[in-house]
Amino acid sequence: MGKIQQLPEDVAVKIAAGEVVERPASVVKELIENAIDADAHHISVIIVDGGKTKIEIKDDGGGMDRADAEKAFLRHGTSKIQSIDDLWRIGTLGFRGEALATIGASASVRLVTTERNASEGTEVLVEQGVMKTIRSHAPLVGTTITVEYLFSGLPARQKFLKSDATEWKAILDVIIRHMIAHPEVAFYVTHNDRTVYDMPPNQSMSDRTAIIWEVNAASLLAVDSEIPHYALHGLVLAPSAVHSRQFAGKGKQFLAVNGHPVSDKVVAKSVRDAYGSLLPPGFYPSFALNLVVHPGIVDVNIHPRKDEVRFVNSQEVFRFVMQSVSQALSKSNLSFTPEVARSPIVNSGLRQSSSPSPFLSSPAQMSTFRSRQSSFVAIPTPPASFASEWRETGAETIGVLVYDSTYLIATYDGSLLIVDQHAAHERILYHGIEEQQNATQSPCQSLLLPLSLDLSPEMQAHLDAHMESFVMLGFGFDEDGALTNVPVVIGQKDPLTFFRTLLVSIDDDRPDLDHNDFKHRIMATMACKAAVKAGDYLSPDEQQQLIRDLMGLPDRYTCPHGRPSYITVTTHDLEKLFKRSGF
């Protein structure tokens, strides 16, 4: 009975006025949020022509009685807050009481609703802000709102609508955000009579996200942590999956704060930082996270559409998110596995033979060419159980086979490892540099004579701008700018050439890089320049040392640029490849 009241003026004023409805996607967002607030378990979303012709949202939530159905279209008609104090405690998605009023003023709207267990429903017709009809209706579960011809009476607004396809894309984005935020709710979605999604209820966040992102659920790593006032639940995409086409560019980033989809730069940055060098430069992590914070330490009312939030202590949020994601990453096995094991081999075979590459330098031909000159250094392979034991027993040798003077093949912990010697060595060196960094000053070796750098004014300026980072990494210069010290990591390499190549390869305009990112780049480049190359000869001892060192590192899975450093092939993968088991 009668749950809706008009907000007192003082509350209304405190809530910053803003345009709630600027395009079809905003209507969809408001209506889905209302359905979720009404405790719906099933929501169907019917869209026609990018929402310009029709938007219909049907839910099986609590519904409204006749009096509420009438008041729902009033400005500031809301059942969700009564005083300004409630603003801080609000657990629901909507609370301005503005959405239906605005939508009703911009379109032809039909509302059919039945309060739970009532024997009679209500139908309301609102046309461009005028209530045309309110009458009884057969009792149908929940609420259905149909919005037709949005902005048809508002040519100025209509002018700003984009193509159907663009409006649909924006709607889809809204729907996806809510589907991920509420995996417990079933969603049925159609556009122009085509079924786009049919999501069952009561899914886990990872099952739902796996369907939406089109990935194997195994590529999603669970994040679950709690400290006083904060909790973070959800998932992040494994680094091995970021290269798939659907994650190109900015990746897929989904954040809800207290169940409410928002975007937030602090959280995005802390997730990126947690990945550190596990991701290649220019790649962004994909994540679907729900941050639960005590309502007293987040301001949800800074944005008219409530798309952003402000944290009272954003440093605290940053640290918490970064630690939680780091933990999730370090707990997981992030090994790369061969793609081919995931898809039927027949396909890739067909594709290859139907389009023979006309290029001489195609990777396949290059590798055939290289392998002809490469030497096989085979060491008698120990029994399979041996490799999994050496870790515990510290046994002296691992059987290593070198392929193409680049790939080290060994068994480790029950799987077959294929290690890229360059990427692996880069990771090992990078780890070493990073450790030394944490111990304040990097160990360096002083040169017998200062070496004059002879830099162009531009290069000199570039060096001066980042002098601090270079010095921290173990480089030293005298008053004349000549090189006096170099970090130990460069080993026997010619210091002058090493430094010049380093300086040149980090010289590009990346104003977006902050001090830390930049230092990371120098470190990664140093590791790259100092590491053994593909094709370099490694003695059997060095091969073993490399594998052993690599496998002892927490970040062993990638090189500092985010390329895989090794690939594991499990018995299961082999069984699939050889079609011994179902695939």
Binding site for Mg ion (CB under 5 A): 34, 94, 99
β-strand partners of 146: 56, 110
Where in 66-85 is the site for ligand ADP (CB under 6 A)?
Answer: 72, 77-80
For the chain, helix, strand, coil in percent to 5 are 40, 25, 40
Residue in 274, 360, 287 with CA at minimum distance from that of residue 323: 274
> Cα–Cα distance between 532 and 537 in angstroms, integer?
9
560 touching ligand ADP, by CB under 6 A: no
Residues belonging to the chain: 583
Contact status, residue 551 vs residue 315, Cβ threshold 8 Å: no
Helix residue spans in 332-456 (DSSP H): 345-354, 363-373, 384-393, 421-438
Residue in 444, 459, 449 with CA at minimum distance from that of residue 467: 459
59 touching ligand ADP, by CB under 6 A: yes
Backbone φ and ψ of 55, nearest 5°:
-130, 120
100 touching ligand ADP, by CB under 6 A: yes
564 touching ligand ADP, by CB under 6 A: no
Q: Which of 15, 24, 26, 34 binds ligand ADP (CB under 6 A)?
A: 34
Where in 126-155 is the site for ligand ADP (CB under 6 A)?
Answer: 143
Q: How far is the CB of 141 from ligand ADP (least distance, A)?
A: 11
Q: How far is the CB of 502 from ligand ADP (least distance, A)?
A: 57
210 binds, among Mg ion, ligand ADP, none (CB under 5 to 8 A by kind): none
Residue nearest to ligand ADP (CB): 94
179 binds, among ligand ADP, Mg ion, none (CB under 5 to 8 A by kind): none
Q: How far is the CB of 88 from ligand ADP (least distance, A)?
A: 16
95 touching ligand ADP, by CB under 6 A: yes
The secondary element (H helix, E strand) that includes residue 46 is strand 42-48
59 binds, among Mg ion, ligand ADP, none (CB under 5 to 8 A by kind): ligand ADP
Q: How far is the CB of 138 from ligand ADP (least distance, A)?
A: 17
Q: Which two tokens mark 227?
A: 């400290």
Contact status, residue 553 vs residue 431, Cβ threshold 8 Å: yes
Q: What DSSP character marks residue 373?
A: H
239 touching ligand ADP, by CB under 6 A: no
Cβ-based nearer residue to Mg ion, 94 or 560: 94
Angle at 441 between CA 440 and CA 445, to 5 degrees: 165
Q: How far is the CB of 571 from ligand ADP (least distance, A)?
A: 52
Q: How far is the CB of 60 from Mg ion (least distance, A)?
A: 17
The secondary element (H helix, E strand) that includes residue 71 is helix 66-71
> Cα–Cα distance between 576 and 583 in angstroms, integer?
6
Residue nearest to Mg ion (CB): 94
Would the CA dihedral through 172, 174, 179, 180 be positive or negative? positive
Cβ-based nearer residue to Mg ion, 36 or 289: 36
Q: Which two tokens mark 370?
A: 């290289």
Strands (E), 464-518: 476-477, 483-487
35 touching ligand ADP, by CB under 6 A: yes
Q: How far is the CB of 309 from ligand ADP (least distance, A)?
A: 17
Q: Which residue's structure tokens are 């490799």? A: 387
Where in 342-361 is the site for ligand ADP (CB under 6 A)?
Answer: none
Q: How far is the CB of 205 from ligand ADP (least distance, A)?
A: 23
Where in 2-31 is the site for ligand ADP (CB under 6 A)?
Answer: 4, 30
Which amino acid is it at 486?
V
Q: How far is the CB of 126 from ligand ADP (least distance, A)?
A: 12
Secondary structure class of 402 (helix, strand, coil): strand
Cβ-based nearer residue to ligand ADP, 269 or 305: 305
Q: How far is the CB of 113 from ligand ADP (least distance, A)?
A: 6
309 binds, among Mg ion, ligand ADP, none (CB under 5 to 8 A by kind): none
DSSP string covering 254-294:
EEEETTEEE--HHHHHHHHHHHGGGS-TT----EEEEEEE-
Contact status, residue 112 vs residue 70, Cβ threshold 8 Å: no
Q: How many residues bind ligand ADP (CB under 6 A)?
A: 24
> Cα–Cα distance between 300 and 264 in angstroms, integer?
12
58 touching ligand ADP, by CB under 6 A: no
Q: Which two tokens mark 18?
A: 């803003």
Which amino acid is it at 470?
F
143 binds, among Mg ion, ligand ADP, none (CB under 5 to 8 A by kind): ligand ADP
Q: Which of 24, 50, 51, 62 binds ligand ADP (CB under 6 A)?
A: 62
Cβ-based nearer residue to ligand ADP, 100 or 300: 100
50 touching ligand ADP, by CB under 6 A: no
Report the interface residues with ligand ADP, using CB under 6 A. 4, 30, 34-35, 38, 59, 61-64, 72, 77-80, 94-101, 143
